[in-house]
Structure 1
Amino acid sequence: MREANLPNLKLVGTTSASGGRFGNVKITGEASLTGDVECRSLSCTGTADLKGSLTADTFKLTGECKVGGDMRSGRISAVGDIEIAGELHGDRVKLTGDVRVRGNGEAESLQVRGGLTVEGLLNAETIELRMLGPCRAKEIGGGAVSVKRSRTSVFKMFTRGNVGLQADLIEGDILELEHTRAAVVRGNRVTLGPGCEIGRVEYRGELSVHGRASVQERVKL
Protein backbone atom coordinates (compact mmCIF):
# COMPACT_ATOMS: atom_id res chain seq x y z
CA MET A 1 0.00 0.00 0.00
CA ARG A 2 1.46 3.34 -1.04
CA GLU A 3 -1.55 5.61 -0.57
CA ALA A 4 -0.97 8.68 1.56
CA ASN A 5 -3.33 10.16 4.12
CA LEU A 6 -4.60 6.83 5.40
CA PRO A 7 -5.45 7.02 9.10
CA ASN A 8 -3.38 5.13 11.64
CA LEU A 9 -5.07 2.87 14.18
CA LYS A 10 -3.78 2.40 17.73
CA LEU A 11 -5.51 -0.01 20.08
CA VAL A 12 -4.47 -0.28 23.73
CA GLY A 13 -5.90 -2.56 26.42
CA THR A 14 -8.97 -4.70 25.78
CA THR A 15 -10.86 -3.18 22.89
CA SER A 16 -12.48 -3.71 19.49
CA ALA A 17 -12.69 -1.81 16.24
CA SER A 18 -14.08 -2.11 12.75
CA GLY A 19 -11.96 -3.25 9.85
CA GLY A 20 -10.95 -0.93 7.06
CA ARG A 21 -7.97 0.63 5.30
CA PHE A 22 -5.24 2.12 7.46
CA GLY A 23 -1.69 3.35 7.40
CA ASN A 24 -0.12 1.72 10.45
CA VAL A 25 -1.99 -0.47 12.92
CA LYS A 26 -0.56 -0.95 16.41
CA ILE A 27 -2.11 -3.26 18.97
CA THR A 28 -0.98 -3.47 22.59
CA GLY A 29 -3.17 -5.74 24.68
CA GLU A 30 -6.22 -7.66 23.44
CA ALA A 31 -8.01 -6.41 20.35
CA SER A 32 -10.75 -7.67 18.04
CA LEU A 33 -11.26 -6.23 14.57
CA THR A 34 -14.40 -6.94 12.56
CA GLY A 35 -14.20 -7.00 8.79
CA ASP A 36 -11.19 -7.07 6.48
CA VAL A 37 -8.09 -5.08 7.37
CA GLU A 38 -5.76 -3.54 4.77
CA CYS A 39 -2.76 -1.55 6.00
CA ARG A 40 0.89 -0.66 5.45
CA SER A 41 1.96 -2.32 8.70
CA LEU A 42 0.40 -4.21 11.57
CA SER A 43 2.27 -4.59 14.85
CA CYS A 44 0.80 -6.55 17.73
CA THR A 45 2.10 -7.15 21.23
CA GLY A 46 -0.58 -9.23 22.86
CA THR A 47 -3.60 -10.85 21.23
CA ALA A 48 -5.28 -9.92 17.94
CA ASP A 49 -8.51 -11.49 16.68
CA LEU A 50 -9.15 -10.44 13.08
CA LYS A 51 -12.57 -11.59 11.93
CA GLY A 52 -11.85 -11.03 8.24
CA SER A 53 -8.82 -11.15 5.95
CA LEU A 54 -5.57 -9.25 6.50
CA THR A 55 -3.47 -7.52 3.85
CA ALA A 56 -0.34 -5.73 5.10
CA ASP A 57 3.03 -4.74 3.71
CA THR A 58 4.64 -5.83 6.99
CA PHE A 59 3.33 -7.85 9.94
CA LYS A 60 5.04 -8.15 13.32
CA LEU A 61 3.70 -10.17 16.22
CA THR A 62 4.68 -10.98 19.77
CA GLY A 63 1.79 -12.98 21.19
CA GLU A 64 -1.19 -14.52 19.43
CA CYS A 65 -3.11 -13.72 16.26
CA LYS A 66 -6.18 -15.24 14.62
CA VAL A 67 -7.15 -14.35 11.06
CA GLY A 68 -10.65 -15.28 9.95
CA GLY A 69 -9.83 -15.17 6.22
CA ASP A 70 -6.66 -14.99 4.12
CA MET A 71 -3.42 -13.38 5.26
CA ARG A 72 -1.21 -11.56 2.76
CA SER A 73 1.96 -9.72 3.71
CA GLY A 74 5.34 -8.90 2.22
CA ARG A 75 7.30 -9.51 5.41
CA ILE A 76 6.03 -11.53 8.36
CA SER A 77 7.96 -11.73 11.63
CA ALA A 78 6.30 -13.43 14.57
CA VAL A 79 7.05 -14.90 17.97
CA GLY A 80 3.99 -16.70 19.26
CA ASP A 81 0.97 -18.41 17.69
CA ILE A 82 -0.78 -17.65 14.40
CA GLU A 83 -3.99 -19.30 13.22
CA ILE A 84 -5.24 -18.57 9.69
CA ALA A 85 -8.66 -19.77 8.57
CA GLY A 86 -7.91 -19.13 4.89
CA GLU A 87 -4.63 -19.04 2.96
CA LEU A 88 -1.21 -17.58 3.79
CA HIS A 89 0.66 -15.54 1.17
CA GLY A 90 3.94 -13.87 2.07
CA ASP A 91 7.35 -12.94 0.69
CA ARG A 92 9.71 -13.34 3.64
CA VAL A 93 8.17 -15.25 6.52
CA LYS A 94 9.99 -15.90 9.80
CA LEU A 95 8.05 -17.52 12.64
CA THR A 96 9.01 -18.77 16.09
CA GLY A 97 6.13 -20.57 17.75
CA ASP A 98 3.16 -22.34 16.22
CA VAL A 99 1.42 -21.59 12.91
CA ARG A 100 -1.76 -23.25 11.64
CA VAL A 101 -3.12 -22.63 8.14
CA ARG A 102 -6.37 -24.25 7.02
CA GLY A 103 -5.78 -23.51 3.35
CA ASN A 104 -2.61 -23.27 1.28
CA GLY A 105 0.60 -21.51 2.29
CA GLU A 106 2.88 -19.69 -0.16
CA ALA A 107 6.06 -17.64 0.33
CA GLU A 108 9.40 -16.77 -1.24
CA SER A 109 11.24 -17.85 1.91
CA LEU A 110 9.77 -19.54 4.97
CA GLN A 111 11.56 -20.09 8.27
CA VAL A 112 9.69 -21.77 11.11
CA ARG A 113 11.07 -22.75 14.49
CA GLY A 114 8.35 -24.53 16.40
CA GLY A 115 5.18 -26.15 15.06
CA LEU A 116 3.62 -26.01 11.59
CA THR A 117 0.29 -27.24 10.26
CA VAL A 118 -0.82 -26.52 6.68
CA GLU A 119 -3.92 -28.41 5.63
CA GLY A 120 -3.34 -27.68 1.93
CA LEU A 121 -0.22 -27.15 -0.18
CA LEU A 122 2.84 -25.44 1.27
CA ASN A 123 5.01 -23.88 -1.43
CA ALA A 124 8.11 -21.70 -1.09
CA GLU A 125 11.40 -21.21 -2.87
CA THR A 126 13.24 -21.94 0.39
CA ILE A 127 11.75 -23.74 3.40
CA GLU A 128 13.60 -24.13 6.68
CA LEU A 129 11.68 -25.98 9.37
CA ARG A 130 13.14 -26.53 12.84
CA MET A 131 10.58 -28.60 14.66
CA LEU A 132 9.65 -28.39 18.34
CA GLY A 133 6.55 -30.56 18.05
CA PRO A 134 4.33 -32.44 15.60
CA CYS A 135 4.21 -30.79 12.14
CA ARG A 136 1.97 -31.59 9.20
CA ALA A 137 1.28 -30.50 5.64
CA LYS A 138 -0.70 -32.23 2.91
CA GLU A 139 1.90 -31.40 0.24
CA ILE A 140 5.18 -29.46 0.32
CA GLY A 141 6.91 -27.99 -2.71
CA GLY A 142 10.01 -25.82 -2.92
CA GLY A 143 13.40 -25.16 -4.39
CA ALA A 144 15.33 -26.03 -1.23
CA VAL A 145 13.60 -27.74 1.70
CA SER A 146 15.36 -28.38 5.02
CA VAL A 147 13.52 -30.17 7.84
CA LYS A 148 15.15 -30.95 11.18
CA ARG A 149 14.39 -31.09 14.87
CA SER A 150 15.24 -27.91 16.71
CA ARG A 151 18.26 -28.11 18.96
CA THR A 152 17.38 -24.95 20.88
CA SER A 153 17.55 -26.17 24.46
CA VAL A 154 15.60 -23.23 25.88
CA PHE A 155 12.46 -24.55 24.17
CA LYS A 156 12.76 -28.18 25.27
CA MET A 157 10.42 -27.72 28.20
CA PHE A 158 7.66 -26.64 25.79
CA THR A 159 7.99 -29.57 23.41
CA ARG A 160 4.77 -31.59 23.13
CA GLY A 161 4.14 -34.91 21.42
CA ASN A 162 6.29 -36.59 18.81
CA VAL A 163 8.59 -34.09 17.12
CA GLY A 164 8.37 -34.81 13.40
CA LEU A 165 6.83 -33.88 10.06
CA GLN A 166 4.11 -35.79 8.24
CA ALA A 167 3.15 -35.15 4.60
CA ASP A 168 1.64 -36.95 1.62
CA LEU A 169 4.14 -35.48 -0.88
CA ILE A 170 7.39 -33.52 -0.55
CA GLU A 171 8.89 -32.23 -3.79
CA GLY A 172 11.82 -29.91 -4.48
CA ASP A 173 15.23 -29.48 -6.05
CA ILE A 174 17.33 -29.93 -2.90
CA LEU A 175 15.71 -31.87 -0.04
CA GLU A 176 17.31 -32.39 3.38
CA LEU A 177 14.87 -34.22 5.62
CA GLU A 178 15.03 -35.62 9.13
CA HIS A 179 12.27 -37.16 11.30
CA THR A 180 9.87 -37.03 8.37
CA ARG A 181 7.10 -39.43 7.37
CA ALA A 182 5.93 -39.09 3.76
CA ALA A 183 4.25 -41.25 1.15
CA VAL A 184 6.31 -39.77 -1.72
CA VAL A 185 9.52 -37.72 -1.77
CA ARG A 186 10.67 -36.37 -5.14
CA GLY A 187 13.72 -34.25 -5.89
CA ASN A 188 17.06 -33.74 -7.59
CA ARG A 189 19.38 -34.09 -4.60
CA VAL A 190 17.69 -35.92 -1.73
CA THR A 191 19.18 -36.49 1.72
CA LEU A 192 17.15 -38.55 4.18
CA GLY A 193 18.41 -38.28 7.74
CA PRO A 194 17.57 -40.14 10.94
CA GLY A 195 13.94 -40.78 11.76
CA CYS A 196 12.68 -40.65 8.15
CA GLU A 197 10.00 -43.14 7.06
CA ILE A 198 9.38 -42.76 3.32
CA GLY A 199 7.17 -44.87 1.08
CA ARG A 200 8.68 -43.95 -2.30
CA VAL A 201 11.68 -41.80 -3.19
CA GLU A 202 12.07 -40.48 -6.74
CA TYR A 203 15.37 -38.70 -7.46
CA ARG A 204 17.16 -37.36 -10.52
CA GLY A 205 20.65 -36.69 -9.19
CA GLU A 206 21.85 -37.95 -5.81
CA LEU A 207 20.22 -39.90 -3.00
CA SER A 208 21.66 -40.33 0.49
CA VAL A 209 19.85 -42.40 3.12
CA HIS A 210 20.88 -42.48 6.77
CA GLY A 211 21.20 -45.81 8.54
CA ARG A 212 18.29 -44.86 10.81
CA ALA A 213 15.99 -43.96 7.93
CA SER A 214 13.67 -46.36 6.08
CA VAL A 215 12.62 -46.24 2.42
CA GLN A 216 10.27 -48.78 0.87
CA GLU A 217 10.95 -47.93 -2.79
CA ARG A 218 13.74 -46.04 -4.57
CA VAL A 219 13.34 -44.84 -8.17
CA LYS A 220 16.04 -43.08 -10.23
CA LEU A 221 14.34 -40.78 -12.72
Structure 2
Amino acid sequence: MSLVGASKQREPIRTDRITAQGHHHFYATVEADSAEITGSCIMDNTALFKTLKSDGHLRVDRAEIDSLAVTGSINATHLTVKNMRVHGIIQAQCLKVRYGQIIMKGICRIGRINSVTIEVSKGFALKKRLICEEITGKTVVLIHTKANIVRGNDVFIGEHCEIETLFYQHQYTIAHTATVKQIVKETLQ
Protein backbone atom coordinates (compact mmCIF):
# COMPACT_ATOMS: atom_id res chain seq x y z
CA MET A 1 0.00 0.00 0.00
CA SER A 2 1.41 3.36 -1.02
CA LEU A 3 -0.06 6.66 0.22
CA VAL A 4 1.03 10.09 -1.02
CA GLY A 5 -0.49 13.43 0.02
CA ALA A 6 -3.24 13.34 2.62
CA SER A 7 -5.62 10.50 3.44
CA LYS A 8 -8.08 9.16 5.98
CA GLN A 9 -8.23 5.39 6.26
CA ARG A 10 -11.40 4.32 8.09
CA GLU A 11 -11.29 0.54 7.51
CA PRO A 12 -8.92 -1.95 9.19
CA ILE A 13 -5.76 -2.51 7.15
CA ARG A 14 -3.67 -5.68 6.87
CA THR A 15 -0.90 -5.60 4.30
CA ASP A 16 2.70 -6.60 3.77
CA ARG A 17 4.05 -3.06 3.34
CA ILE A 18 2.91 0.51 3.89
CA THR A 19 4.69 3.52 2.44
CA ALA A 20 3.15 6.83 3.48
CA GLN A 21 4.27 10.34 2.55
CA GLY A 22 2.36 13.41 3.67
CA HIS A 23 -0.38 13.44 6.31
CA HIS A 24 -2.32 10.24 6.99
CA HIS A 25 -4.91 9.33 9.59
CA PHE A 26 -5.78 5.69 10.35
CA TYR A 27 -8.98 5.28 12.37
CA ALA A 28 -9.04 1.47 12.58
CA THR A 29 -6.45 -1.23 13.30
CA VAL A 30 -3.32 -1.16 11.13
CA GLU A 31 -1.19 -4.28 10.66
CA ALA A 32 1.80 -4.64 8.35
CA ASP A 33 5.12 -6.42 8.10
CA SER A 34 6.87 -3.13 7.36
CA ALA A 35 6.00 0.54 7.18
CA GLU A 36 7.90 3.67 6.18
CA ILE A 37 6.28 6.96 7.10
CA THR A 38 7.51 10.39 6.04
CA GLY A 39 5.50 13.35 7.30
CA SER A 40 2.79 12.96 9.91
CA CYS A 41 0.73 9.93 10.76
CA ILE A 42 -2.02 9.38 13.33
CA MET A 43 -3.16 5.89 14.32
CA ASP A 44 -6.21 6.00 16.58
CA ASN A 45 -6.46 2.27 17.13
CA THR A 46 -4.08 -0.67 17.54
CA ALA A 47 -0.98 -0.74 15.32
CA LEU A 48 0.96 -3.96 14.74
CA PHE A 49 4.24 -3.87 12.79
CA LYS A 50 7.32 -6.02 12.41
CA THR A 51 9.31 -2.98 11.24
CA LEU A 52 8.31 0.68 11.42
CA LYS A 53 10.46 3.61 10.30
CA SER A 54 9.09 7.10 10.84
CA ASP A 55 10.65 10.37 9.72
CA GLY A 56 8.41 13.12 11.02
CA HIS A 57 5.58 12.96 13.54
CA LEU A 58 3.90 9.72 14.60
CA ARG A 59 0.96 9.43 17.00
CA VAL A 60 -0.37 6.01 18.02
CA ASP A 61 -2.79 4.79 20.66
CA ARG A 62 -1.54 1.24 21.19
CA ALA A 63 1.30 -0.29 19.22
CA GLU A 64 3.22 -3.56 19.18
CA ILE A 65 6.35 -3.31 17.06
CA ASP A 66 9.36 -5.60 16.62
CA SER A 67 11.72 -2.91 15.32
CA LEU A 68 11.02 0.84 15.61
CA ALA A 69 13.20 3.66 14.25
CA VAL A 70 11.96 7.23 14.71
CA THR A 71 13.63 10.42 13.56
CA GLY A 72 11.35 13.22 14.71
CA SER A 73 8.66 12.63 17.31
CA ILE A 74 6.42 9.85 18.57
CA ASN A 75 3.45 10.20 20.88
CA ALA A 76 1.86 7.00 22.22
CA THR A 77 -0.44 5.79 24.94
CA HIS A 78 0.91 2.21 25.19
CA LEU A 79 3.99 1.23 23.21
CA THR A 80 5.46 -2.29 23.23
CA VAL A 81 8.68 -2.67 21.22
CA LYS A 82 11.44 -5.27 20.95
CA ASN A 83 14.11 -2.94 19.51
CA MET A 84 13.68 0.83 19.51
CA ARG A 85 15.73 3.85 18.47
CA VAL A 86 14.19 7.29 18.83
CA HIS A 87 16.22 10.27 17.64
CA GLY A 88 14.01 13.17 18.64
CA ILE A 89 11.13 13.45 21.08
CA ILE A 90 9.07 10.67 22.67
CA GLN A 91 5.91 11.09 24.72
CA ALA A 92 4.23 7.97 26.13
CA GLN A 93 2.18 6.83 29.09
CA CYS A 94 3.67 3.34 29.09
CA LEU A 95 6.74 2.06 27.22
CA LYS A 96 7.71 -1.61 27.28
CA VAL A 97 10.92 -2.13 25.34
CA ARG A 98 13.43 -4.97 25.24
CA TYR A 99 16.31 -2.85 23.90
CA GLY A 100 15.77 0.88 23.63
CA GLN A 101 17.80 3.95 22.77
CA ILE A 102 16.47 7.49 23.10
CA ILE A 103 18.57 10.33 21.73
CA MET A 104 16.72 13.38 23.00
CA LYS A 105 16.21 16.42 20.80
CA GLY A 106 13.90 18.13 23.31
CA ILE A 107 11.71 17.42 26.34
CA CYS A 108 10.59 13.77 26.47
CA ARG A 109 7.87 12.56 28.85
CA ILE A 110 7.17 8.90 29.63
CA GLY A 111 5.00 7.68 32.51
CA ARG A 112 6.60 4.26 32.97
CA ILE A 113 9.44 2.49 31.17
CA ASN A 114 9.92 -1.27 31.55
CA SER A 115 12.95 -2.61 29.68
CA VAL A 116 15.80 -5.06 29.52
CA THR A 117 18.21 -2.35 28.38
CA ILE A 118 17.39 1.36 28.06
CA GLU A 119 19.89 4.04 27.12
CA VAL A 120 19.01 7.73 27.21
CA SER A 121 21.40 10.27 25.71
CA LYS A 122 21.20 13.83 24.46
CA GLY A 123 21.17 15.09 20.93
CA PHE A 124 21.87 18.62 19.80
CA ALA A 125 19.12 20.70 21.39
CA LEU A 126 19.11 23.42 24.01
CA LYS A 127 16.32 21.90 26.10
CA LYS A 128 16.67 18.17 26.45
CA ARG A 129 15.34 16.11 29.31
CA LEU A 130 13.51 12.86 29.94
CA ILE A 131 10.84 13.22 32.58
CA CYS A 132 9.60 9.87 33.86
CA GLU A 133 7.67 8.50 36.82
CA GLU A 134 9.43 5.11 36.87
CA ILE A 135 12.21 3.44 34.87
CA THR A 136 12.87 -0.29 35.29
CA GLY A 137 15.44 -2.41 33.46
CA LYS A 138 18.29 -4.84 33.82
CA THR A 139 20.72 -2.27 32.39
CA VAL A 140 19.78 1.41 32.71
CA VAL A 141 21.95 4.24 31.33
CA LEU A 142 20.59 7.77 31.78
CA ILE A 143 21.59 11.39 31.28
CA HIS A 144 19.50 14.55 31.62
CA THR A 145 16.70 12.52 33.23
CA LYS A 146 14.28 13.41 36.01
CA ALA A 147 12.59 10.36 37.56
CA ASN A 148 10.90 9.41 40.81
CA ILE A 149 12.05 5.78 40.69
CA VAL A 150 14.90 4.09 38.81
CA ARG A 151 15.28 0.35 39.30
CA GLY A 152 17.84 -1.98 37.71
CA ASN A 153 20.59 -4.53 38.08
CA ASP A 154 23.29 -2.26 36.63
CA VAL A 155 22.48 1.45 36.65
CA PHE A 156 24.46 4.44 35.39
CA ILE A 157 23.06 7.81 36.46
CA GLY A 158 24.81 10.29 34.20
CA GLU A 159 25.14 14.04 34.02
CA HIS A 160 22.32 16.33 35.11
CA CYS A 161 19.99 13.58 36.35
CA GLU A 162 17.56 14.14 39.21
CA ILE A 163 16.43 10.86 40.75
CA GLU A 164 14.27 10.53 43.87
CA THR A 165 14.97 6.84 44.61
CA LEU A 166 17.47 4.47 42.98
CA PHE A 167 16.95 0.74 43.50
CA TYR A 168 19.81 -1.46 42.29
CA GLN A 169 20.74 -5.15 42.54
CA HIS A 170 24.31 -5.40 41.26
CA GLN A 171 26.02 -2.02 40.80
CA TYR A 172 25.39 1.64 40.20
CA THR A 173 27.38 4.72 39.17
CA ILE A 174 26.36 8.34 39.75
CA ALA A 175 27.93 11.27 37.90
CA HIS A 176 29.07 14.21 40.02
CA THR A 177 26.49 16.51 38.36
CA ALA A 178 23.62 14.12 39.15
CA THR A 179 21.37 14.14 42.22
CA VAL A 180 20.01 10.95 43.80
CA LYS A 181 18.06 11.45 47.04
CA GLN A 182 17.81 7.82 48.16
CA ILE A 183 19.74 4.66 47.20
CA VAL A 184 18.38 1.21 48.05
CA LYS A 185 20.18 -2.10 47.48
CA GLU A 186 17.68 -4.77 46.49
CA THR A 187 18.41 -8.43 47.01
CA LEU A 188 17.34 -11.21 44.68
CA GLN A 189 14.44 -13.22 45.99
Q: Which runs of 5+ in 1 are unaligned?
A: 1-24
Cα distance between partner residues in 1 of 2:99 and 2:14: 27
Aligned equivalent of 2:70, options 66, 75, 95? 95
The yes-or-no answer on 1:118 pairing with 2:83 is no
The residue number in structure 1 matching 2:170 is 205
Q: CA deviation at 1:61?
A: 0.7
Q: Percent identity over the alignment?
A: 22
Over the residues paired in the alignment, what is the CA RMSD in angstroms? Answer: 1.1
Aligned equivalent of 1:165, options 130, 148, 157? 130
Q: CA deviation at 1:94?
A: 0.5
Q: For 2:45, what is the secondary structure of its paired residue?
A: coil
Aligned equivalent of 1:217, options 165, 178, 182? 182
Q: Which runs of 5+ in 2 are unaligned?
A: none
Alignment of 1:1-221 (within 5 A): 25-84=1-60, 86-102=61-77, 104-119=78-93, 121-151=94-124, 156=125, 162-221=127-186
Cα distance between partner residues in 1 of 2:178 and 2:11: 48
Cα distance between partner residues in 1 of 2:177 and 2:59: 34
Q: For 1:68, what is the secondary structure of its paired residue?
A: strand
Cα distance between partner residues in 1 of 2:45 and 2:59: 10
Q: CA deviation at 1:56?
A: 0.9
Q: CA deviation at 1:29?
A: 1.2
Q: CA deviation at 1:35?
A: 2.2
What TM-score results when the alignment is normalised by the length of structure 2? 0.95
Q: For 2:176, what is the secondary structure of its paired residue?
A: coil
Cα distance between partner residues in 2 of 1:132 and 1:89: 24
Cα distance between partner residues in 2 of 1:107 and 1:38: 19
What TM-score results when the alignment is normalised by the length of structure 1? 0.82
| Structure with greater proportional strand content | 2
Which runs of structure 1 show a deviation greater than 6 angstroms over 4 or more consecutive aligned residues? none
Q: For 1:88, what is the secondary structure of its paired residue?
A: strand
Q: CA deviation at 1:113?
A: 0.4
Cα distance between partner residues in 2 of 1:141 and 1:195: 22
